[in-house]
Structure 1
């Protein structure tokens, strides 16, 4: 009888210990409560994830039948590891107490209506790998303390109202692979960038000045650069196209005045697409771009380019899209473009070319009036 009672007490105590250990930390429950209370109740639809967050139940205890049915993921040790909200139109601020979720690896609040500053306390989330605040209304600057997140691999702050310049110290974010800050109100120049970056997107902001080599030093894995629709100016220098992993470049709709491109130093360059359209680029068409073996798409539309179109482009088998319209290119376009040798599509229209066959789609739009071309070439007739 004594042994049975002892066994019963032992099992009861063990069960109590397991139950005690199998609950979410009080600090994390407080953080989740603060997170929810910072969101306007009127913007929490009855069908949404947040509507199921009822704190009469433990957030990490299973099964989630009626409470905490989505938006939250916990580890086997009952720590909150992911906070991924549904795009239900939640409106509110982001509580600084979210920093108490110290095991968080993913924070995704995309496609809602969060507003106010991004809390600098996020820098305490040392396990964070993915931070997505895309398509909200966050304002103020990007907090400099974000550079402390050494495990962060992906940042997406696109489509918000962030302003000011990008913080220095981002080069210490050694794990960061993807950075998207597009469609904000950021100003100034690019700081020194994270060394292992693969994708950089800061489209449609107000970045200004020239692109500095010091910003890109050591970026041996950078494949995609999307900096269109800014105020970048000056000369795009030869080092830019020597970035060893570069595949896609979009610098359209800026104020670049010149482009200096050298022949690629390696035959196996991965450059596939270049868009420099709608800038203020002067001089001749950069012939050295034709030396990039995989180049498939090239656009220099609506710049101030002059001179003839080099024949090398018409012989380039990899080239599929070529947009040179809206410049002051002159002479006769290479015959290979129209002989069936080249399969390139695009436009050579709105230039000063002669003998561009009107039957070819490449020659649409029509060429500039002779008077405009004479003025562009100092009164000389186009030839």
Structure 2
């Protein structure tokens, strides 16, 4: 038989348990906020502007838009924070209704060969946009200078399009960038001196390859550390870029191939972070630096089609002879030694 005191104790415990349970966030209870009605309306406008493609078949008025494909909602507020439309039969231009998603952080239109037109100014009206990807489309026209107004951007990917004209200096205002893709377009002119001038120490990974850029690489690039990659390949860039290298550099992937670069390679120093180095089809002269044999994590090397001379260095932890075949070295002025033919005795 229970005493009055024990009953009171049980009641207190149950009341406390119920209080704790009700105090838990809704996400802990398995409940998620429903899609905000204004966001749902905007998404249906986007679908209509893109001619109601099959890719967006799940976008129906009867269902919660947070359950639709190709987007993500904040689980607490129900606001759309990510939109990534990719790989479907979609035609038209970027819909202006994307500006009606005020909490959007990631916007991606990718692998859409029938997406046409120019990059629209209204993208600057998305207040919290952090990642913008417009890639593998038929977008044309210039890289707009107004993109420099989206100060919240951490990633800008405009690769694999039909963009032309020059790189706008205003992109140098995007001081929060961690990666910049302008590769595989038809860009011309010089790399702006101001492109990375406002960065201090660390710079975004930069992809400018497969364009028609000319002139010299800004000297300010040499004052920065690229965390992973710099790719300037397949342009018409020229002069000395040896300042991109150094013992203390953090960059791991460097591709400067198929340009008109010209500098003395024998004076270049390398960091242990380097794992990929492609310098083929340039006008680089001098000899292979002995320090290259000490880059122990180097996995790819190509210095072919340059003006190098002398014997390929031996020894070291890098072991240039064992790790790379003749295709890494051939078509130089007078480079010799294993794996190329032996050097001629004087």
Please classify the TM superposition score into its range, dividing by the shorter chain length: 0.7 to 0.9
SS of the residue aligned with 2:102?
A: coil
Which residue number corresponds to residue 57 of structure 2? Answer: 51
RMSD (Å) for aligned C-alpha atoms: 2.8
Which residue number corresponds to residue 24 of structure 1? Answer: 36
Range with bigger deviation, 250-259 or 283-292: 283-292
TM-superposed deviation, 1:89: 2.5
User: Could you tell me whether the CA contact under 8 Å between 1:82 and 1:104 is conserved in 2?
Assistant: yes
Which residue number corresponds to residue 277 of structure 1? Answer: 280
CA distance in 1, matches of 2:263, 2:184: 26
SS of the residue aligned with 1:52?
A: coil
Alpha carbons of 1:221 and 1:326: their partners in 2 closer, same or farther (altered >3 Å)?
closer
SS of the residue aligned with 1:253?
A: coil
Give the number of equivalent residue pairs: 301
User: Could you tell me whether the CA contact under 8 Å between 2:262 and 2:282 is conserved in 1?
Assistant: yes
Which residue number corresponds to residue 138 of structure 1? Answer: 139
TM-superposed deviation, 1:213: 1.0
User: Could you tell me whether the CA contact under 8 Å between 1:262 and 1:288 is conserved in 2?
Assistant: no
Q: How does 1:176-195 map to 2 (within 5 A)?
A: 176-191=177-192, 192-193=195-196, 195=199
Which residue number corresponds to residue 9 of structure 1? Answer: none
TM-superposed deviation, 1:252: 0.8
SS of the residue aligned with 1:54?
A: coil
What do residues 138-164 of structure 1 show as CA deviations (whole Å, max 9, x unaligned)? 111122222222332222221111111
Which residue number corresponds to residue 218 of structure 2? Answer: 212
CA distance in 1, matches of 2:233, 2:77: 45
Q: TM-score, normalised by structure 1?
A: 0.69
User: Could you tell me whether the CA contact under 8 Å between 1:96 and 1:121 is conserved in 2?
Assistant: yes
CA distance in 2, matches of 1:57, 1:294: 52
TM-superposed deviation, 1:262: 3.9
User: Could you tell me whether the CA contact under 8 Å between 2:266 and 2:287 is conserved in 1?
Assistant: no
Q: How does 1:240-279 map to 2 (within 5 A)?
A: 240-242=244-246, 244-259=249-264, 262=267, 264=269, 269-279=272-282
Which residue number corresponds to residue 348 of structure 1? Answer: 340
CA distance in 2, matches of 1:218, 1:125: 33
TM-superposed deviation, 1:290: 4.5
Structure 2 residue 302 is the aligned partner of structure 1 residue 299: yes
User: Could you tell me whether the CA contact under 8 Å between 1:117 and 1:140 is conserved in 2?
Assistant: yes
Structure 2 residue 248 is the aligned partner of structure 1 residue 236: no
SS of the residue aligned with 1:134?
A: strand
SS of the residue aligned with 1:78?
A: coil
TM-superposed deviation, 1:23: 5.7
SS of the residue aligned with 2:304?
A: coil
Q: How does 1:1-383 map to 2 (within 5 A)?
A: 24-26=36-38, 28-41=39-52, 44-45=53-54, 48=55, 50-55=56-61, 59-60=65-66, 64=67, 69-75=68-74, 76-113=76-113, 114-191=115-192, 192-193=195-196, 195=199, 196-214=202-220, 216=221, 218-237=223-242, 239-242=243-246, 244-259=249-264, 262=267, 264=269, 269-287=272-290, 289-290=292-293, 292=295, 294-306=297-309, 308-310=310-312, 313-319=313-319, 320-321=323-324, 323-329=328-334, 333=337, 337=338, 348=340, 354=343
Q: TM-score, normalised by structure 2?
A: 0.76
TM-superposed deviation, 1:198: 4.0
TM-superposed deviation, 1:30: 4.9
CA distance in 1, matches of 2:164, 2:265: 31
Structure 2 unaligned segments of length 5 or more: list them. Answer: 1-32
TM-superposed deviation, 1:94: 0.2
User: Could you tell me whether the CA contact under 8 Å between 1:263 and 1:291 is conserved in 2?
Assistant: no
TM-superposed deviation, 1:325: 0.3
User: Could you tell me whether the CA contact under 8 Å between 1:31 and 1:100 is conserved in 2?
Assistant: yes
